[in-house]
Chains A and B, each alone.
Chain A
């Protein structure tokens, strides 16, 4: 007699195990999807439907209406379109920039040898402290930065040659990756002051630069290990054929690492797309991004659930579609980074 507890083959679970697995999987799928479903139907509800108790199924429990969608897309179109455009522009450009700069650095850390001298680094930090100290004493910041830079270069020429102790690539990589540990809140106030001085507060450029800097460590981290897995022989061939470093990187390495680049790009894009804290500090009306717009729906009349649901849905739709298309890349790209990191 056939047993329901026995596996039919070694790689296939038995019927009972399979049923159990499906029950658990469906349970978690419900946990994941139900909030999204609730959000979706709430966007079609009239305020009265939301406020008079839970209704679950459109056309059965309540009559769906497009009023919230019409409000967001027609009545306050300008208030929606601008943050949306900001989010798209800031997200895409900061991710592309972070990917470009980070990929170059990650590649360099894998293939070239750098030997930053300890003396130069100590000197640099000392001059930075000097600049801060001078500002603290009331010297204008332009003057103090200039003075410190001059002192730095003079001292570097004078004593730099003597301090030969140097660090290796791994130290640079560690330094870059460890920047991710920094809580953004610890650096955001000086960045705020910096952009205020440059009259760049509440501009897209400020957000793009900041997001790029915040995401750079992840890019270096994930791509460094990806580049390590590319055989060096191809690059040597290119070098023998007379290709320059940049040419080799652009025409050999980049095409070979498309999966890693895609995964990293998506990861960084999602961070920039959803970022809240830095946007809260650095933008107000002009450069406002979608997370702030969504958060702002909690207005004086209480939370406007129906409008909020529409906004959240149009905000998450592009990234969800991307995630579904690129699902395979994500897992692979992240795994490489996680194993070695």
Chain B
């Protein structure tokens, strides 16, 4: 294969093609000798399988998907006919008949929502001003930040104007609710458990293993389990529900009840992941500064606030990023737990796309999937550049 040549060639001097981190440069300097020594030819064997697989199963489908999102499939005799319809699928989602489903029904936000949005605007303005005033600010950086701030505020405006009594959140808002409320709870509970388990307590190994288990269970199983548990008349907590007079109501018939059931299932499952990695991070922290602080009489809170938390911050941001990327794909839990209902109240974007596909609206399905892809990409890139880069520089 002649393209293989492009991946080979003599090793470059360090610093020429890896100006990133000093660590990488050092590694490169070490590698130079080794890679120059060996007779070339086998490097391609190592990387080409992975490159080909990823080209075949993500880049190629991605392009085809983009094209599908601009087309409409028509079933004709003996096959399908694919018509190019331009942006019609997207127009339908954002302004047309699917708008209520996708973006939700918009109304005037409640007072609480307006206050929340006002606080967000203030925080954004303060952060932007801080960036302009700082020495490191550049014009390109400012423009990108401004663009992201506008995007984020527009999304938040959608959230506050659909999440109220009269409005109805669309699948985008529901996905955002799942992702962020879920991650917040998972992180807080996971960190708390990690700190508790990191103490020198007898029997901590038992807790570590038990807390890990939910991660291993299939989300479909989790969904059915929580359907059983959420049953207010025959589930294990039925006496409790009857005692408070809610014995005959059902979680899944109420929009917010159904959404919280999905979030509880998600938190139950993924707290395990946060816990296990945060625990390893807490235990990897050096003991001496903590002990020195304790000898000096620092309180537990101070030890956590000034030593442990800064130490685990890089891991925390990586974890949040991983969970964010994975959580946007949520689909099995709402599909099995509530089937997207009542109405479309618990539909995530992936489920929306799947339901459109099942209804043979392939173009619409691809358009939803692409909107999700764009949303996730913007959010992850912004997170990496604005939050993660700051915390990893610290160490």
Residues of chain A touching chain B, judged by Cβ–Cβ distance below 8 Å, are 10-13, 18, 21-22, 24-25, 28-29, 31-36, 38-39, 42, 50-54, 56, 101-102, 104-105, 107-117, 120, 124-125, 128-129, 132, 136, 153, 156-157, 160, 166-170, 172, 175-176, 179-191, 193-194, 209-210, 212-214, 216-217, 220, 228, 232, 235-236, 239, 244-246, 249, 270, 273-274, 276-277, 280-281, 290-291, 294-295, 297-298, 303, 305, 308, 312, 315-316, 319-320, 322-324, 327, 330-332, 334-335, 338-339, 341
Contacts and interface: CB of A to CB of B under 8 A. Distances in A.
A170 B216 contact: no
Contacts of A323: 209, 212-213, 215-216
Contact of A101 (B49, B228, B238): B49
A123 B71 CA distance: 25
Nearest to A220: B50
A35 B53 contact: no
Contacts of A124: 3
B50 A273 contact: no
18 contacts: A36-B225, A105-B47, A112-B47, A114-B8, A183-B350, A187-B65, A190-B64, A232-B34, A270-B216, A276-B218, A276-B331, A277-B350, A291-B219, A312-B225, A320-B217, A331-B280, A334-B280, A338-B322
Given A111-B35, A191-B61, A25 B315 contact: no
Given A54-B238, A190-B64, A29 B220 contact: no
B236 A34 contact: yes
Interface in B35-89: 35, 37-38, 42-43, 45-47, 49-51, 53-54, 56-65, 67-68, 71, 82, 84
B310 interface: no
B277 A56 contact: no
Nearest to A296: B220
Interface in B187-233: 189, 192-193, 196-197, 199-201, 207-221, 224-229, 233
A232 B207 CA distance: 38
Given A115-B7, A339-B314, A104 B225 contact: no
Contact of A112 (B35, B61, B229, B319): B35
B18 interface: yes
A115 B35 CA distance: 13
Contact of A182 (B27, B318, B373): B373
A186 B62 contact: yes
A245 B41 CA distance: 10
B384 to A, nearest CB: 10
A193 B64 contact: yes
A214 B218 contact: no
Given A33-B210, A102-B50, A115-B9, A190 B18 contact: no
B139 interface: no
Contacts of A160: 6
A128 B68 contact: no
B130 interface: no
Contact of B12 (A113, A194, A228): A113
B207 A29 contact: yes
A131 to B, nearest CB: 9
B365 interface: yes
Nearest to A294: B220
Given A25-B196, A54-B234, A169-B18, A186 B369 contact: yes
A316 B62 contact: no
Contacts of A276: 218-220, 331-332, 335
A34 B226 CA distance: 11
Nearest to B68: A189
A184 B329 contact: yes
A27 to B, nearest CB: 10
Interface of B: 2-3, 6-9, 11-12, 17-18, 20, 24, 27-28, 30-31, 33-35, 37-38, 42-43, 45-47, 49-51, 53-54, 56-65, 67-68, 71, 82, 84, 189, 192-193, 196-197, 199-201, 207-221, 224-229, 233-239, 268, 272, 276-277, 279-281, 284, 291, 294-295, 314-315, 318-319, 321-322, 325, 328-329, 331-332, 335-336, 349-350, 353-354, 357, 362, 365-366, 368-370, 372-373, 376-377, 380
A274 B60 contact: no
B159 to A, nearest CB: 20
B6 A319 contact: no
Given A10-B294, A21-B196, A327 B212 contact: yes
Given A189-B65, A213-B56, A294-B220, A136 B82 contact: yes
Contacts of A239: 34, 37-38
Given A28-B189, A112-B31, A294-B224, A170 B209 contact: no
A100 B67 CA distance: 33
Contact of B220 (A125, A181, A220, A295): A295
A108 B47 contact: yes
Contacts of B331: 185, 276-277
B170 to A, nearest CB: 17
B372 A312 contact: no
B49 to A, nearest CB: 5
A116 B294 contact: no
B332 A105 contact: no
A46 B215 CA distance: 29
A104 B46 contact: yes
Contacts of A104: 45-47, 49-50
Nearest to A167: B17
A327 B50 contact: no
A127 B75 CA distance: 29
A32 B366 contact: no
Contacts of A42: 228
A42 B228 CA distance: 10
Contacts of A109: 47
Contact of B370 (A169, A186, A220): A186
Contacts of B369: 183, 185-186, 189
B24 A170 contact: yes
A214 B294 CA distance: 47
Contact of B17 (A11, A156, A166): A166
A156 B4 CA distance: 11
